[in-house]
Amino acid sequence: MNIIMLGPPGAGKGTQAEVLSKKMDLTTLSTGNILRAAIAEKRPVGLNAKTYMDKGELVPDDVIIGIVKDYLETHDLGKGCILDGVPRTIAQAEMLDKMGVRIDAVLSLEISDAAIEERMGGRRTCMKCGATYHVKANPPKVEGICDKCGEKLTIREDDKPETVRQRLAVYHAQTEPIIGYYTEQGKLTAVDGTASVEETSEKLVKALEMLK
C-alpha cells in the first residue's frame, strides 16, 4: 500500500508518517529529510536546495524527481511506502504516475493557517535522523535531545515565523491543487489535523481501514 501524506507545512505529516510506518510496517520516503541530510553532508544537491528551502520556496521539480528516482532504485518498498512531503506540485504527482508508482490513498491533513503559525513556534527537529517533536504536543523524553539518536534538537531555519508564512503561501498556490488531482481519482481522504498526535493517527488508521 502506497500512501501520500498531504497537508500544509506543520500539519504533522512527518510525525504521522512515522507513527503510521511503525503501525503498518511501511517504509517512509520524505524528500524534506533527504534534502536536509544532503545539506548536513554538504552535498551539491543539498547546498543548491538550501537556497530555496531557507526562503520557504519549493525546490525545483527536476531535483525532486531525481531524488525520488534514486530512492526507488535503491530501496525496496516492501509492503508499501508513505510519501511524506512529496508530491508537492501537479508536475510531481504526474511524475509519480509516469514512473509507475501506484498510489492507493492520499491522506490530507486539514488545519488552518493560524493554527499552523502557532504550532510551528514549538517545533523541534533532529537534523541527524529527521525525527520531529513539539515542545508541548509531542515533547522528547529529555528536553532538547532526540529520543531516537541522542542528537541535540534544533529549530529548523525554515520554521521561523516569516518563512512559515511564505511556506503557507507556496502551499496554497502550488501544492493545494493536488487535492483536486487526487479527488478526481477518488483517492483523497481529508482528516482533521488539529487534534493530538494520537487522536489524529487513530483517525488516519480508521480512514485507511475503510479504504481496504
Residues within the interface to ligand AMP (CB under 6 A): 9, 31-32, 35, 52-53, 57-59, 64, 85-86, 88, 92, 158, 167
Catalytic residue from among 36, 119, 124, 156: 156
Active site includes 165?
A: no
Residue 104 backbone dihedrals phi, psi, to 5 degrees: -95, -35
Question: Distance (Å, rounded) from C-alpha 1 to C-alpha 204?
Answer: 14
Closest distance to ligand AMP from the beta carbon of 170 (Å): 7
Cα-based distances in Å from 146 to 138, 154, 203: 12, 10, 26
What's the helix, strand, coil split of the chain in %, to 5?
50, 15, 35
Residue showing the smallest CB distance to ligand AMP in the complex: 32
Closest distance to ligand AMP from the beta carbon of 103 (Å): 14
Active site includes 156?
A: yes
**82 C-beta neighbours (distance < 10 Å), count:** 25
Active site includes 43?
A: no
Contacts of 118 (CB under 8 A, 6+ apart): none
Contacts of 47 (CB under 8 A, 6+ apart): 38, 39
Nearer to ligand AMP, 55 or 187 (CB): 55
Do residues 132 and 15 lie in contact, with contact meaning Cβ atoms separated by under 8 Å? yes
Active site includes 124?
A: no
Nearer to ligand AMP, 118 or 202 (CB): 118
Closest distance to ligand AMP from the beta carbon of 175 (Å): 8
* Residue 190 grid coordinates: 481529508
Closest distance to ligand AMP from the beta carbon of 178 (Å): 10
* Residue 165 grid coordinates: 508564512
Pairing of strands 3-6, 81-84: parallel
Active site includes 13?
A: yes
Catalytic residue from among 36, 50, 119, 167: 167
Task: Just list the catalytic residues.
Answer: 13, 88, 123, 156, 167
